[in-house]
């Protein structure tokens, strides 16, 4: 019965990918179709290496499912990112496939290091253990990134348009499921198989296999249903209709004065917990209105504005304490940064110098004036 579930789930995913392309061929839909194709191939290989003699006759390819496991979260993330209209030509999206590329190169080198490579040379090896842990962290990272992405868009659009996020949420849940299965698999192979009896392990393996395929199959069915019932989701990017002019000219001028006061007088940016929602609350407007104002009128994102103000605050502190040996960590906290590393990255990005180089420049300039 379990083997039938695996085969059916693989076919299901393949059909869904083909249906996506049948409805409309576009760059965005090719990414979505590739996601389902990779899922189909992955499930099929899981079936081969779990239930057939392939793990012995094709042992050199035993790592293929792990390769697909690295690629699948990247495909889902890039699709959702593009669907939500958050992609940019400046983004180096190809880097999301770096983990898969690194794994592929490492796996090939590992397999070739054996004169006669077998199934047992991979499963439960140190290399495989590292791969399982890496997969958990990679899928967890993608799941978190998707959470932030969907939350950001949700906060930026009116409530009546929130239902448009149902499709990205389904894909987000899909990543959550593959994260869950990665955690369970890691625990099973790294902990349970090391300490429990063969009979117990065999029973748990059956439960794990059913657990894996039922979750995956259910989500593919939901995705297939969603694609068939709402074919408009395959028409292109998410259509978000925000108010074309949420702020009048007078309101924009008033808003800018309030922002200037909050940053230049109240030093609100020195609050390490400040975020866009809190700033919008201080200004008495909705977050999406603040985002639109900053993007359209000021030409910056909230994070760019915040980091700029914090770096300017750090520069002011350095100038006022030029004769003192101030620590970068203390300046970072006083400027509003939570960590010295984040402070360092943003300071160098904005000024073109590290904090220490900037302090040296200030001293050199002072010595030049004295001379």
Note the pLDDT tens digit of each residue in 47-66: 888 888 888 899 999 999 99
Look-up of token digits 């496939």: 97
Q: How far apart are alpha carbons 28 and 87 in whole angstroms? A: 11
Domain membership flag for residue 10: yes
Domain membership flag for residue 338: yes
Q: How far apart are alpha carbons 135 and 178 in whole angstroms? A: 10
8 shares its domain with 77: yes
Q: How far apart are alpha carbons 282 and 290 in whole angstroms? A: 11
Is the pLDDT score of 269 beyond 90?
A: yes
DSSP state of 278: H
Q: How far apart are alpha carbons 243 and 211 in whole angstroms? A: 45
Confidence of residue 69 (pLDDT cuts 50, 70, 90): very high
130 shares its domain with 222: yes
254 shares its domain with 362: yes
Confidence of residue 77 (pLDDT cuts 50, 70, 90): very high
Domain membership flag for residue 239: no
Domain membership flag for residue 303: yes
pLDDT value of residue 184: 84
Is the pLDDT score of 102 beyond 50?
A: yes
* Average pLDDT, integer, range 166-176: 88
* Average pLDDT, integer, range 69-97: 86
Where are the extended beta strands (E) located within the chain? Answer: none
293 shares its domain with 342: yes
Domain membership flag for residue 243: no
Which structure tokens are listed for 256?
């800018």
CATH number of the domain enclosing 287: 1.10.10.60
- The CB-based long-range contact list for 80-85 (8 Å cut-off, 24+ gap) reads 80/146, 80/149, 80/150, 80/168, 80/171, 80/172, 81/149, 82/28, 82/31, 82/237, 83/28, 83/167, 83/168, 83/237, 83/238, 84/149, 84/150, 84/153, 84/168, 84/237, 84/238, 85/237, 85/238, 85/240
Let me know: does 133 contact 186? Beta carbons within 8 Å.
Answer: yes
Domain membership flag for residue 244: no
162 shares its domain with 270: no
61 shares its domain with 205: yes
Number of domains in the chain: 2
Count of H-run helices and E-run strands, the chain: 16, 0
Which structure tokens are listed for 354?
């590290």
Confidence of residue 204 (pLDDT cuts 50, 70, 90): low
Look-up of token digits 């959702």: 80
277 shares its domain with 316: yes
CATH number of the domain enclosing 88: 1.20.1070.10
Nearest to 86 by CA among 33, 32, 156: 156
230 shares its domain with 258: no
214 shares its domain with 73: yes
Confidence of residue 242 (pLDDT cuts 50, 70, 90): very low
Let me know: does 167 contact 233? Beta carbons within 8 Å.
Answer: yes
Is the pLDDT score of 159 beyond 70?
A: no
218 shares its domain with 255: no
pLDDT value of residue 250: 56
123 shares its domain with 38: yes
Query: Final residue of a domain: which of 204, 234, 264?
Result: 234
Radius of gyration for the alpha carbons in the chain, expressed in angstroms and rounded: 26
Q: How far apart are alpha carbons 354 and 341 in whole angstroms? A: 11
Which structure tokens are listed for 279?
């700033």
Look-up of token digits 């965005």: 28
Confidence of residue 311 (pLDDT cuts 50, 70, 90): very high
Longest dimension (CA), the chain: 87
Q: Is the pTM of this model over 0.75?
A: no
Query: Final residue of a domain: which of 234, 258, 279?
Result: 234
| pLDDT tens digits, 223-241 | 777 767 766 666 655 555 4
Nearest to 59 by CA among 110, 118, 109, 112: 118
Range of the domain at 230: 2-234
Query: 276 or 214: whose pLDDT is higher?
Result: 276
Domain membership flag for residue 41: yes
266 shares its domain with 172: no
Query: What distances in angstroms separate CA 262 from CA 25, 269, 296, 316, one per listed residue?
Result: 49, 8, 20, 17
């Amino acid at each position: 019965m379990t083997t039938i579930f695996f085969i059916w789930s693989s076919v299901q995913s393949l059909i869904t990918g083909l249906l996506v392309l049948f409805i409309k061929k576009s760059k965005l839909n090719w990414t979505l179709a590739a996601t389902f194709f990779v899922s189909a191939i992955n499930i099929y290989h899981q079936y081969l290496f779990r239930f057939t003699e392939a793990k012995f006759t094709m042992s050199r390819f035993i790592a293929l499912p792990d390769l697909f496991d690295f690629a699948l979260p990247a495909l889902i993330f890039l699709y959702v990112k593009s669907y939500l209209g958050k992609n940019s030509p400046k983004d180096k999206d190809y880097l999301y496939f770096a983990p898969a590329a690194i794994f592929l190169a490492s796996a090939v080198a590992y397999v070739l290091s054996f004169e006669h490579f077998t199934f047992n040379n991979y499963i439960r090896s140190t290399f495989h253990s590292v791969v399982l842990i890496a997969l958990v962290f990679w899928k967890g990272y993608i799941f978190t990134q998707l959470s932030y992405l969907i939350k950001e868009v949700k906060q930026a659009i009116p409530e009546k348009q929130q239902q448009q996020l149902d499709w990205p949420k389904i894909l987000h849940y899909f990543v959550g499921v593959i994260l869950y299965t990665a955690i369970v698999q890691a625990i099973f192979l790294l902990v349970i198989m090391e300490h429990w009896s063969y009979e117990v392990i065999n029973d748990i393996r059956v439960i794990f296999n059913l657990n894996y395929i039922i979750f995956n199959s259910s989500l593919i069915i939901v995705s297939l249903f969603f694609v068939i019932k709402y074919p408009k989701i395959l028409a292109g990017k998410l259509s978000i209709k925000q108010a074309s002019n949420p702020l009048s000219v007078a309101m924009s001028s008033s808003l800018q004065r309030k922002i200037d006061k909050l940053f230049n007088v109240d030093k609100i940016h020195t609050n390490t917990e400040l975020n866009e929602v809190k700033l919008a609350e201080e200004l008495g407007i909705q977050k999406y209105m603040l985002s639109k104002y900053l993007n359209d009128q000021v030409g910056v994102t909230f994070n760019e504005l915040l980091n700029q103000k914090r770096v300017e605050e750090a520069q002011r502190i350095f100038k006022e304490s030029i004769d003192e040996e101030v620590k970068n960590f203390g300046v970072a906290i006083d400027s509003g940064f939570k960590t010295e590393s984040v402070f360092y990255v943003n300071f160098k990005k904005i000024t073109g110098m590290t904090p220490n180089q900037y302090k040296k420049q200030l001293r050199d300039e002072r010595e030049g004036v004295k001379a």
